[in-house]
Structure 1
Amino acid sequence: MDAVYAMAHALHHMHRELCSGFPGLCPRMANIDGKELLAHVRAVAFNGSAGTPVMFNENGDAPGRYDIFQYQINNRSTAEYKVIGHWTNQLHLTPALPDGREEEGGEGCPMLLALRALRGIPLPGQRVHLRDLPLREKTRPEPNQLPAIPIIKLEWSSPWALFPVFISILGIIATTFAIVTFVRYNDTPIVRASGREMSYVLLTGIFLCYIITFPMIAAPDVVVCSFRRIFLGLGMCFSNAALLTKTNRIHRIFEQGKTAVTAPRFISPASQLVITFSLISVQLLGVLVWFSADPPHTFVDYGEQRTQDPSNARGVLKCDISDLSLICSLGYSILLMVTCTVYAIKTRGVPETFNEAKPIGFTMYTTCIIWLAFIPIFFGTAQSAERVSLPL
């Protein structure tokens, strides 16, 4: 409403100046530009609907007018805001003590004040420290009166860290034992028949899946966040790329055998390695683009442990990996997994003596079921206490 009054006052002054008492719209006001009208708007000065003066400074801004509130505990032991002063170009402060007595800016000067516009328009969340206001030197709070909010992270001693670390160590030991066994019996018929090259790639992927546990629990910094981005989906990509190449090879061999006696192309070990690492390179390229578009860094999330009690406020130190980034990083591996499952279904009817197809099919079926359960559980518990402690 005051804006309408300001425009009316500006037009009235313009009419009086340009039309010199001419009734109605004179020819001089028929063609005016916005700059001329703006000059008259900035020159207005009157009392508004709330009884406060309406005027503009040289920058065209209205003067600030605020009520100043203090958050206090009253005699009924309940918290409420009390008006202790106002601001109209300068501070007018009369702090209200909890027992109802007034004190003119003495030693009881409160640490924090809340501001609200005098016209009744609230300014949510705005706070001002009294050391930023023109109070007497003796009323300013000491810097150590403002306690720092503790920053927390997932600790190695936490049960949420100990159990994954224990499982990861067992997995690393088992995978290392399998790799050593393959290397020791590298030239035996059973190792060669199992697809020796693809088996090494698959074991490398499994090993990386267990290793990623340690960067995920480590205290976030730029190096740790970089390792998380690189290895988060790389282990799954290694494993799924190797399995997809195996199932695709089996499928092509049996499909070719239905119509011809010649072997299909690209089924040699070297060709299989080229195909597998071509699939893996797509994941690495995506990570490289992620690094270029958004370099890794840490941040403190104060929102997840928001509380009404300031003494319980905590900040969680995290890497900048959002839930969307997490899904994008794992999305390519999931695509490889689904494609491999399709080929596993197509090769489910191969002879029993061809011992690769059915174990791979069983592996892919169970993996898909696990992922179907993981995704809704992970995103459905986004605000749970367990997720708050996680480093992502």
Structure 2
Amino acid sequence: MGTYIPAEVCTSYVQPGDIYLGGLFSLHGGADGEYSKEDCEGLYPVSALQLTEAMAFAVMTINQDDSVLPNVTLGFIIYDDCSWPEYATWGSLSLVLGAQPSLEGDFCNIPGPTIGGDTKHVIGIVGTGETYTTEVAINTAQLFQRPLVSYGATDQELHGEHGHPYFFGTIPSDSYKASAIVNILLYFEWEYIAMIFSDDHEIHHLEEDIVNLLEVFGICLYAEAELSEDPTEDELQQMVTMLQTHPHAKLVVVLVSSASAFSAVMSSVQGAYPPLERTWLSSNTWEKELIGNAEALGGLFIQFRKPEIMEFEEYFRSLLKGNQTNNINPWFDEFCGGSDICNEASQEGFSKELPTLAPTIDAVLALAYALDDTILALSCNSSITDCLLRDKNIQRSILENLRTVEFLGTRGEFFFEHDFVPAQVIVKNLQRSNEGNLELVEVGTWSSTKPYWEQLEINSSLLQWAGGTGDVPISVCRDECNPGYIEVIDSTKRCCWKCQACRVDDIVVGTECVSCEQNEWPNINFTMCEKLIGRTVTWHDPAVVFISFMTSLGLLLSIVTSCGMIRYRNHALIKASSRELSAVNIFGLILAFVSVFPLLLPPSVSICGVAQSLYALSFTLMYAPLFLKVNRIYRIFESSSKTVKRPKFTGPTAQLVIVAVLVSIQPILMFITALSIPGTWSTVRELFPSPSSNIHRRTVEVVCNLGFGFVVSMGYNFLLLLACCFFAYKARKVPGNFNEARFYVASVYTTLLFILAALPMYFTGGTAIIVVTSVSLVLLVNGYVTLGCVYISKIYAIIFKKVGEQDGNTMMQNRERPSSIFQSREGRSFGFSGEDNKVHPSGS
């Protein structure tokens, strides 16, 4: 059976040995670098030849090492797959069948005659360098239970879990590149990105891996542009338009497999107007091409670590010098004969520029060490070759040993991790040197063997972004929110965020607005709630000035009144109003005026306790004697209609004892409530005035809180007040010329009216000044009305009207009769002559 196969495919590079390894490499391709099934004449760069010699070098190294495969000579058979899947199938089939294809005219026959008359079965295949050719080669290898170790295929779909248990890769999977790229995006907080990728099989899978990871980590890929391997002007223009349309995507991920495609992208961006200022993150590094693209300045470029293998470089250069007389590479003269191209491509350090060189050597070593472990476990009485051919389970043993193989490879400790080698990724930054030249500087690493949070290591001090600054570029689609704003999803733009204002009394916690407590307010940055500083009344407030003035005046009048009452204490008018009870009442008035001042001071535990105690006690001192006075007047005139005897308990001593009992009840109530409810006399009340508008800061004002104890005490005072009202009403018809009760009525009713008016002001007042004013005015009005109606009027009558000048025992001196006669309600007459058996309103 025969078919048309190019001569390059039928050509083999063979090194005889006891056991063989197969190799599939791409040395030729279509003309002008294009893939062509019919044409395999295009010659690849010298690096393709170097890879075949890397396999030969690795086999030679093993054969020279007695610690690996002792007494066994390892050989190899290498075919050219021309970067075409069908030719890769032919090559892999030839290797597993142990027969060399032979070219007869225009046809290549498989199987052809065996090499040296013996069938050469390979125990494993090294190759291929591309995913799409590896996918077909692995099918043949798997059919014959031969492991295939690729030095260039990076597609994660080749993994054993996806149906290729005989596949191994000595170059890290592209999934590691995807993880490294996303890890870099997270490290620099790039959340809104664009992507450019080429129409290539491996690149497509890499792009899918990245997209899946972006969704997991919440990074928005807003726009993508797909380019062919050789981008057209239309494709490049559409790409530029895409980038211009999305200005927030400052970070652009570039996934292209060739340096020419990357250069085309940079050239089109360079000519864009308006200029595109972007940061580039590429999955590959092309040092020679990058140092000529200033548009990529500040970009990040990743690559798998490529070691420099000096032993191989010396080996290859020795071939060029003709020192290797046994060189039987059939493609050597085609690549290196008659030109200096191989010498130019083999300058010192060329090994670290070839990403698949180290993986090729490691692939050979992995198969050799796995075979060595298999032979050590094999019981064989004949030759190793015969035993390997007779043992039906030998290939499965090689496969299992290959999966667990460990040795020191070209890149350090070698082992397989999910059938791929672990990844060591280098992160480089394109910078401008001090001399003004562009250069790639290593700024970080990424390792798949470390825990996730330690995989990426970046030396930020080495970074240099576009423009030569050290500021990390921002690639997010969100507004820069001011303090007091949170970010919310913009319903008009996908993956974008806008700022939304919190309420004026909210702080920002993460992405939420959190309200402060009523007595708190956000700080200037809206990051935490701060306790509001309470404000109280101040002495320069007009209302406080007025209250202070009126209180001082009232206190002065009370003192003057006291002096007048003492001066005229033997006067009939004074004696008739019960001097002892008047003294207690005036003391209560003085205490009432004094108790206003603590209300005007900044509230504290002690001040509030003193203010409330004095307030409640002053009312008791005022209304206990007033109650006895009006009750005494009523009882005297009420009993006069029935008897001329003085009613019981109307004398000075009895009245003082009763008032002492009534007043002492108040301190007892204070003491009981203070013990039962701690703080009821000494707490501070917070007021929160409504701001003039919702943009103004909330304020808190503090006043003394009138607690339960104060309410109980004032409740007792209110009972005294009601009793005064009741007896004042009952005594309303006392004879007009000696009706002191009507003054008490005026005083009591006025005080009651102001108390009822002040209560709503106290409980609804929003500011300290309103509360303090309402409470203080009750005392002031009560004091002034009592002074004016009860005492000042008497002093005025005594001093200016000369009432009672002729006889202190007569009530009216303008009468000509020897005694004052008043008509009772029944029309009866009774007088006040000072005799003990007569009813007299005086307590003296």
Q: Normalized against structure 1, the TM-score is what?
A: 0.60
Q: 1:291 to 1:357 in 2, by over 3 A?
A: same
C-alpha deviation, 1:319, in angstroms: 3.0
Assess, with a 3 A threshold, how the Cα gap between structure 1 residues 213 and 112 changes in structure 2: closer, same or farther.
same
Quick one: which amino acid aligns to residue 359 of structure 1?
A: F
**Pair member with larger Rg:** 2
How much does 1:287 deviate?
1.5
2:534 matches 1:151: yes
Query: 1:368 aligns to what?
Result: 752
- For residues 300-333 of structure 1, the C-alpha deviation after alignment (integer angstroms, 9 at most, x for no partner) is 73745679878723333333434x6654442222
1:16-49 superposed Cα distances (whole Å, 9 cap, x missing partner) = xxxxxxxxxxxxxxxxxxxxxxxxxxxxxxxxxx
Are the aligned partners of 2:630 and 2:727 in contact in 1 as well (CA < 8 Å)?
A: yes
In 2 relative to 1, CA 174–313 (structure 1 residues): closer, same or farther, beyond 3 Å? same
Distance verdict in 2 for CA 1:351–1:230, change over 3 Å: same
Quick one: distance in 1 between partners of 2:760 and 2:541?
25
- Which structure carries more relative contact order (alpha carbon 8 Å, separation 6+)? 1
State how 1:373-384 maps to structure 2 within 5 Å.
373-379=757-763, 381-383=764-766
Describe the superposition over 1:187-238 as per-residue Cα deviations: whole angstroms up to 9, x where unpaired.
Answer: 3433222211111111111112211110001112222111112112222221
8 Å CA contact 1:153–1:391 kept in 2: the answer is no
Q: 1:113 to 1:350 in 2, by over 3 A?
A: same
Mapped contact 2:758–2:774 kept (Cα < 8 A): no
Out of 719, 735, 740, the residue aligned to residue 351 of structure 1 is 735
8 Å contact 2:588–2:620 — kept in the other structure?
A: yes
SS in 2 for 1:81: strand
Distance 1:221 1:243, change over 3 A: same
Unaligned runs of 5+ in 1: 1-72, 85-95, 100-110, 117-122, 128-140
Mapped partners of 1:306, 1:201: distance in 2: 46
Alignment of structure 1 residues 224-235 onto 2, 5 Å: 224-235=607-618
Deviations 1:80-100 (A, max 9, x none): 53269xxxxxxxxxxx8969x
Do structure 1's residue 268 and structure 2's residue 651 form an aligned pair?
yes
> Which residue matches 1:277?
660
- Considering only aligned residues, what root-mean-square deviation do their CA atoms show, in Å? 4.1
What is the correspondence of 1:26-45 to structure 2 with a 5 Å cutoff?
none
Unaligned stretches of 5+ residues in structure 2: 1-477, 490-496, 501-506, 518-523, 776-844
Match for 1:191: what amino acid?
A: I
**2:612 is equivalent to residue 216 of structure 1:** no
Q: Is residue 736 of structure 2 the alignment partner of residue 331 of structure 1? A: no
Higher-helix-fraction structure: 1
Please name the residue that 1:321 is paired with.
Answer: 706
**SS at 1:353's partner residue?**
helix
Would you say 1:113 and 2:509 are equivalent positions?
yes
1:1-392 equivalent positions in 2, closer than 5 A? 80-82=485-487, 112-113=508-509, 125=515, 149-292=532-675, 293-295=677-679, 296-299=681-684, 301=686, 303-304=688-689, 312-322=697-707, 326-379=710-763, 381-383=764-766, 386-387=769-770
| Residue type of the alignment partner of 2:509 | L
CA gap 1:385/1:333 in 2 versus in 1, 3 angstroms? closer
1:31-83 Cα distance to aligned partner (Å, 9 max, x none)? xxxxxxxxxxxxxxxxxxxxxxxxxxxxxxxxxxxxxxxxxx96899965326
CA pair 238-213 structure 1, distance change in 2 beyond 3 A = same
Q: Structure 1 CA distance, aligned partners of 2:482 and 2:710?
A: 47
Report Cα offsets for 1:153-203 as digits up to 9, x if no partner: 211121231111010011001000010122233334332222111111111
Return the alpha-carbon distance in structure 1 between the equivalents of residues 644 and 706 of structure 2: 51
Do the aligned partners of 1:225 and 1:298 also contact (CA within 8 Å) in 2? yes
Q: Could you give the per-residue CA deviations for residues 338-377 of structure 1, whole angstroms, max 9, x where no partner exists? A: 1111101111111123242222123223333333333334
Residues 287 and 248 (structure 1), Cα distance of their counterparts in 2 relative to 1, 3 Å cut: same
Q: 1:242 to 1:125 in 2, by over 3 A?
A: same
Cα distance in 2 for partners of 1:242, 1:390 equals 27
Compared CA separation, residues 278 and 247, structure 1 to 2 (3 A):
same
CA contact (8 A) 1:287 1:329 kept: yes
1:220 alignment partner AA: P
Contact 1:153 1:317 in 2 (8 A): yes
User: Residues 152 and 263 of structure 1: is their aligned pair in 2 closer, same or farther, counting only changes over 3 Å?
Assistant: same
Amino acid across the alignment from 2:703: K
Are 1:300 and 1:315, in contact at CA under 8 Å, matched by a contact in 2? no
**SS of equivalent to 1:258:** coil
Specify the code of the residue in structure 2 equivalent to 1:289.
I
Report the alpha carbon displacement of residue 150 of structure 1 after superposing the two structures with TM: 2.9
Identical amino acids, percent of aligned pairs? 26
TM-score (norm 2): 0.30
**8 Å contact from structure 2 (residues 487, 499) kept in 1:** no
CA contact (8 A) 1:216 1:391 kept: no
User: Matched residues in 2 for 1:149 and 1:377: separation?
Assistant: 24
CA separation of 1:239 and 1:299: change in aligned 2, threshold 3 A: closer
Equivalent position amino acid for 1:113 in 2: V
Q: Aligned residues, how many?
A: 279
